[in-house]
């Protein structure tokens, strides 16, 4: 039995039958050839910053990529292309980009997790999404076949990709290829980013620091209080539904999606439904960002599921909107 406690930022205790880490493509190929994946079900886990263990025990093999390293594969006057191991820590990669004056990743500072998972989840924050930096994703399937997915084949959308589809869940991500710009291309129009920067000259380092400062203020640090970031995705609703609600709640924020749809912040809905900062047993809705559920200590996955259900029902009862988890329930 292998404890998964250090493999989930929610800090939930669960055990696995087996846990295997691979450090290279050839090592993974060896595991495939040894039929490791035929013995029992398996699951690829990254840093565990977007999963919720709902059971105490999994008769599964958990696989973790420890493929590290970053290699520059192309460079010209305007951009640089890099190939990064899926087991690299995402924020260390962002720090490297900032140090080398490569623009594009800075708004994604301090997002927990690893490079491989960033490409599965299409991580996003402060007006940026990783899909706009990715050029391709190098993978292997459970039969040992390698395949490179060009970015246009990855099916990227808001916090989603082809790699989340049931038939692609067992694809191992080996490397992610990114293109960064050598010229400033700052995106500062989201929320209070500009305000946080003040009147100082805008530099890569300052943008990274502003994003980190905003995140630290709003989001709980998983090393101090277990959580998995946004627990729900922001729901997309029809413009007609939004207009009807806005007649009753004139302050209701929204982001444009297309002519017929808008996205509404789930954090706002949860706060208005009265759940911000509320506790239920060993779990709570975070008091500074209602989109985040926190483990107050020794919570089980079932405790978190119970709170999530109550919050979802409260939002549905008040607004008629269904909010769906962003976190992957296992």
Please, which of residues 104-143 interact with ligand EPU by CB under 6 A?
125-126
Question: What x-and-dash track marks residues 211-240 binding ligand EPU by CB under 6 A?
Answer: -------xx---------xx--xx------
Separation CA 276–CA 55 (nearest Å): 26
Which one is catalytic: 159, 215, 246, 306? 159
Place of tokens 């980190």: 212
Q: Which is nearer to ligand EPU, 184 or 253 (CB)?
A: 253
**Do residues 45 and 19 lie in contact, with contact meaning Cβ atoms separated by under 8 Å?**
no
* 157 part of the interface to ligand EPU, by CB under 6 A: no
Question: Which stretch, 11-19, 32-40, 263-271, 295-303, contacts ligand EPU (CB under 6 A)?
Answer: 263-271
- Contacting residues for 65 by C-beta, under 8 A, at least 6 apart: 21, 22, 28, 44, 46, 85, 86, 87, 114, 116, 172, 173, 174
How far apart (Å, rounded) are the C-alpha atoms in residues 130 and 121?
Answer: 9
Residue 322 annotated among the catalytic residues of the structure: no
Q: Which of 61, 64, 120, 119 is nearest to 93 (CA)?
A: 119
Place of tokens 């292998």: 2
Q: How far is the CB of 49 from ligand EPU (least distance, A)?
A: 8
Catalytic residue list contains 238: no
Give 176's strand partners: 84, 137
| Residue selected from 180, 290, 308, 321 as contacting ligand EPU according to rule CB under 6 A | 290
Active-site position among 106, 114, 129, 326: 326
Which two tokens mark 260? 């017929």
Asked if 274 is part of the footprint of ligand EPU (rule: CB under 6 A), the reply reads no
Residue whose C-beta lies closest to ligand EPU: 229
The least distance separating ligand EPU from the CB of residue 112, rounded to whole angstroms, comes to 8
Nearest alpha carbon to residue 165 among 246, 315, 157: 157
Which residues sit at the interface with ligand EPU, rule CB under 6 A?
Answer: 125-126, 190-191, 218-219, 229-230, 233-234, 253, 265, 267-268, 271, 276, 289-291, 326
Q: Which residues are catalytic?
A: 159, 230, 326
């Amino acid at each position: 039995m292998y404890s998964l406690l250090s493999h989930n930022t929610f800090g939930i205790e669960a055990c696995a039958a087996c846990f295997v880490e691979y450090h290279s493509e050839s090592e993974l190929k060896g595991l495939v050839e040894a039929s490791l994946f035929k013995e029992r079900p398996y699951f690829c886990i990254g840093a565990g910053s977007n999963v919720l263990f709902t059971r105490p025990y999994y008769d599964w093999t958990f696989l973790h990529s420890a493929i590290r390293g970053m290699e520059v594969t192309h460079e010209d006057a305007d951009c640089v292309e890099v190939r990064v191991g899926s087991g690299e820590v995402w924020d260390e990669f962002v720090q490297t980009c900032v140090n080398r004056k490569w623009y594009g990743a800075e708004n994604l500072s301090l997002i927990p997790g690893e490079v491989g998972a960033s490409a599965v989840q299409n991580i996003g924050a402060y007006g940026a999404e990783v899909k706009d930096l990715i050029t391709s994703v190098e993978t292997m399937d459970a039969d040992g076949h390698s395949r490179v997915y060009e970015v246009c084949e990855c099916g990227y959308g808001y916090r989603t990709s082809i790699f989340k589809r049931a038939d692609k869940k067992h694809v191992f991500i080996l490397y992610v290829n990114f293109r960064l710009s050598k010229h400033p291309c700052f995106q500062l129009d989201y929320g209070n980013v500009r305000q946080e920067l003040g009147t100082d000259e805008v530099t890569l380092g300052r943008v990274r620091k502003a994003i980190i400062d905003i995140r630290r203020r709003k989001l709980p640090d998983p090393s101090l209080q277990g959580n998995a970031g946004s627990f729900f995705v922001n729901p997309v609703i029809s413009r007609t539904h939004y207009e009807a609600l806005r007649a009753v709640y004139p302050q209701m924020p929204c982001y444009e999606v297309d002519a017929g749809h808008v996205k509404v912040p789930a954090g706002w809905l949860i706060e208005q439904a009265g759940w911000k900062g509320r506790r239920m047993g060993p779990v709570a809705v975070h008091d500074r960002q209602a989109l985040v559920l926190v483990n107050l200590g020794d919570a089980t996955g079932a405790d978190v599921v119970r709170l999530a259900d109550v919050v979802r029902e409260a939002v549905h009862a008040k607004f008629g909107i269904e909010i769906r988890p962003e976190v992957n329930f296992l």
